[in-house]
């Protein structure tokens, strides 16, 4: 479906990809590399996604050798294929990539949780034609010292390229600030942006840095590691850039204020700045829901005997969980069932247990309690540690 926007016909992203004969990933990379031009959505477009002018599709279709020429410009290769393309060994290719001679254009996470970088084939061919001394000659001393110190510029160059792409398409100073804030560590962002309303607004405007899937915990950790700046000089560069951009954004318009019900007063900033800040925190739940008081039968204390949440007053940030305040009955149960409690063999059977029967029934229960007092209680299998934590990871191949 096509629409009219500013007197020019535009197509949706999916329709444009089909017209160009590209897959979804290929078309996405072509847009990132500015091989396919896009325009902002129209005023009546509810999707909010950028669109492709029909004139841009016609221009690409008129190229000689279409669509092979377009596919060749956006073709990506891995380390092994890239080394074969440049005519060098994979080890030398890896050293050149770590030293920052060329940067990746995207990445994905394999099944072992390792980041696999992909490079533009056209850039590798151009580098091999210009830098013959680095390809076939000895490694320069400065580059050797950089590699010996453990430097790896692959992630830094990818973040720099991606931030530049998103800043070009950003609309407004706050959108540009959100792009820069997306690559900063959370603690650095919290230290630079003190206002919680501004942090929430930046989080809402945060763009998608990569299309790598994050289905598991290991995959999410790898994606966050690739998207977050690590080195000190890189973090400081983005901090300075964000600070300048935020000044321009605040002059443009302030961030939307938080609703009164979404924030509570806090004195967390009294130690650093001396003034209390307003942080968005969740309301404390009922204290008794997390009390782990076990009675003699393995159950939990009734709800009516637990301490109510209204007894917990003051600031809840920086304090232990409210569940650490047990009710009086919970303390009594712990005292009865704790390590210093009296052994069941020394207690007299109650009438409720024996059912008011003859004395020999009580004596039988007493003998039974004495016999079972010396037995070790079998631990439930759900609490045992599986040896797979140590055996599974040892068989995984090392990361390249």
d(CA 340, CA 333): 12
Q: What percent of the chain is predicted at pLDDT more than 90? A: 50
261: its two tokens? 């019900």
d(CA 38, CA 53): 7
d(CA 9, CA 57): 11
Q: Are 184 and 235 in contact (CB under 8 A)?
A: yes
DSSP state for residue 212 in the 8-state scheme: -
The predicted pLDDT at position 259 comes to 73
191 membership: H or E segment, kind and range:
helix 186-192
pLDDT tens digits, one per residue of 179-198: 999 999 999 999 999 999 99
Phi and psi of 266, rounded to 5°?
-140, 150
pLDDT tens digits, one per residue of 279-297: 443 433 333 333 333 333 4
Q: Are 176 and 168 in contact (CB under 8 A)?
A: no
d(CA 132, CA 155): 25
Residue 344 has pLDDT above 60, yes or no: no
In this prediction, residue 332 has a pLDDT band, given cuts at 50, 70 and 90, of low
CA 186 to chain centre: 10
pLDDT tens digits, one per residue of 69-103: 999 999 999 999 999 999 999 999 999 999 999 99
- Residue for token digits 């290719």? 93
Residue 17: how many other CB atoms lie within 10 Å = 21
**DSSP string computed for 271-303:** TTTSS-EEE--PPP--GGGG---B-TTS-B--G
Range among 215-224, 231-240, 318-327 with highest mean pLDDT value: 231-240
Residue 97: how many other CB atoms lie within 10 Å = 22
The predicted pLDDT at position 346 comes to 45
**DSSP string computed for 22-82:** --HHHHHHHHHTTSS--BPPPTT-SS---BEEHHHHHHHHTSTTTTHHHHHHT-EE-HHHH
Q: Are 86 and 95 in contact (CB under 8 A)?
A: no
The ranges assigned to domains in the chain are 2-73, 77-152, 156-257
Strands 76-77 vs 115-120: parallel, antiparallel or unpaired: antiparallel
Phi and psi of 325, rounded to 5°?
-105, 95
């Amino acid at each position: 479906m096509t629409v009219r926007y500013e007197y020019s016909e535009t197509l949706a992203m999916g329709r444009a990809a089909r017209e160009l004969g590209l897959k979804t990933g290929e078309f996405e990379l072509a847009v990132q590399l500015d091989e396919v031009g896009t325009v902002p959505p129209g005023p009546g477009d509810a999707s909010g996604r950028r669109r492709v002018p029909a004139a841009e599709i016609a221009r690409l279709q008129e190229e000689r050798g279409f669509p092979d020429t377009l596919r060749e410009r956006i073709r990506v290769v891995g380390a092994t294929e890239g080394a074969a393309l440049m005519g060098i060994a994979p080890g030398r290719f890896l050293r050149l990539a770590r030293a920052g001679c060329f940067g990746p254009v995207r990445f994905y996470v394999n099944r072992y949780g390792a980041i696999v970088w992909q490079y533009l084939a056209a850039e590798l061919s151009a580098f091999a034609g210009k830098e013959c001394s680095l390809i076939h000659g000895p490694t320069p001393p400065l580059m050797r010292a950089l590699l010996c110190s453990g430097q790896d510029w692959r992630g830094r160059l990818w973040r720099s390229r991606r931030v530049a792409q998103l800043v070009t398409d950003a609309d407004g100073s706050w959108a540009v600030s959100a792009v820069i804030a997306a690559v900063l560590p959370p603690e650095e962002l919290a230290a630079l942006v003190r206002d919680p309303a501004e942090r929430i607004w930046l989080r809402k405007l945060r763009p998608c840095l990569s299309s790598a899937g994050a289905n598991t915990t290991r995959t999410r950790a790898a994606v966050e590691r690739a998207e977050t700046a690590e080195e000190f000089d890189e973090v400081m560069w983005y901090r300075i850039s964000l600070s300048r951009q935020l000044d321009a954004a605040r002059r443009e318009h302030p961030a939307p204020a938080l609703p009164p019900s979404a924030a509570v007063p806090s004195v967390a900033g009294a130690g650093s700045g001396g003034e209390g800040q307003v942080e968005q925190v969740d309301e404390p739940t009922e204290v008794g829901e997390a009390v782990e008081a076990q009675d003699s039968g393995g159950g939990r204390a009734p709800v009516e005997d637990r301490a109510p949440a209204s007894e917990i007053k003051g600031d809840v940030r920086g304090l232990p969980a409210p569940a650490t305040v047990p009710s009086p009955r919970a303390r009594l149960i712990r005292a009865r069932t704790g390590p210093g409690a009296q052994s069941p063999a020394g207690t007299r059977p109650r009438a409720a247990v024996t059912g008011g029967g003859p004395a020999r029934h009580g004596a039988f229960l007493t003998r039974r309690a004495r016999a079972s007092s010396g037995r070790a209680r079998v631990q439930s299998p759900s609490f045992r540690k599986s040896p797979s934590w140590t055996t599974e990871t040892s068989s995984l191949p090392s990361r390249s």
